[in-house]
Structure 1
Amino acid sequence: MIRVGFSHIDYNVADLERALRFYEPVMAFLGFAKESRQSDWVLFGNGRMKLCLVRCEKRFAGAGFHRKNPGLNHIAFQAERASDVDEVAKFLKERKIPLLYNSPAHFDTERETYAVFFEDPFRLKLEVVYSPDYL
């Protein structure tokens, strides 16, 4: 058996510039650097994983996204400390990005977790979670 981790996530967006206005400050705050920019995509990385925002083809842009449909529900970023989750929540509130589910809060009764949830401009749910037992 081999052991792998996530290399990268490609996330198709209908409006790349709108996505970048949201993701550039959020990703920088989470410790990601912009590694590459092309006309149709932007790659952020932090040395452990990468997120690539990709402009989808115009013929698919009108389909929209909803996390309740089959497919991706959300992306969770692992925090090193519970206090990091609080810092992210403060950062989001300062930018008037609504927090979901009365977060930050503890969401798992079986293991230690502390998370903040929010959405991007296209309604993809994002999570920053401290969960030491989840590694």
Structure 2
Amino acid sequence: MTTPQGFHHIEINVHDLEKSRFFYDWLMPELGYSLFQQWDKGFSYKNGTAYLVFTQTEEPYKEIPFHRKRSGLNHLAFWAKSRAHIEHLRVQLKKKNISFLYEDRFPFAGGDNHYALFFEDPDRIKIEIVASR
């Protein structure tokens, strides 16, 4: 038996579980993730052996909001199926009134050979979607 490689799971505390659920319920299936677990204070999505968990921030810790420039998580990056997939996601995100980061440099904000789309989730966690071709 071989041991799986890569990360097992990542857990993210969110300020408003309902808003985050609404946001990720659409996005994660678009990226090949399936709903894995759900309970009153959280939910998770799985792709292969790895999963991403979202849990409600406890009340005493909600006062200071997340900011990617502080120590800790900076952003999450996911693979797109193709450049056309990124274009599809971009249209869908615009319909949902989700603004983009670095829109003036789309699709090469990450460099000349890095085709990607950048935006933020409800807690302002930066999301990057990257196409390999």
TM-score range, shorter chain: 0.7 to 0.9
Note the residue ranges of structure 2 that are not aligned, 5 or more in a row.
none
Structure-1 residue corresponding to 2:111 = 108
SS of 1:122 mapped into structure 2 = coil
Note the residue ranges of structure 1 that are not aligned, 5 or more in a row.
none
Contact 2:31/2:79 (<8 A) preserved: no
Per the normalisation by structure 1, the TM-score is 0.85
Q: How does 1:117-132 map to 2 (within 5 A)?
A: 117-131=118-132
Aligned equivalents of 1:79, 1:30: Cα separation in 2: 7
Q: How does 1:52-67 map to 2 (within 5 A)?
A: 52-67=53-68
Q: How does 1:1-135 map to 2 (within 5 A)?
A: 4-47=5-48, 49-102=50-103, 104-106=106-108, 107-109=110-112, 112-131=113-132
SS of 1:118 mapped into structure 2 = strand
TM-align CA RMSD: 1.9
1:15 shift after superposition: 1.5
Which amino acid letter does the alignment assign opposite residue 32 of structure 1? Y
Contact 1:86/1:104 (<8 A) preserved: no
Q: Deviations over 1:24-53 (max 9, x none)?
A: 111122222211101111011122532110
Per the normalisation by structure 2, the TM-score is 0.86
Contact 1:89/1:104 (<8 A) preserved: no
Q: Deviations over 1:74-133 (max 9, x none)?
A: 000012322221111111111111111016412224xx320000001111100101136x
Fraction of identical pairs, as percent: 36
Aligned equivalents of 2:41, 2:24: Cα separation in 1: 15
Which amino acid letter does the alignment assign opposite residue 37 of structure 2? S
Aligned equivalents of 2:4, 2:38: Cα separation in 1: 30
Contact 1:11/1:53 (<8 A) preserved: yes
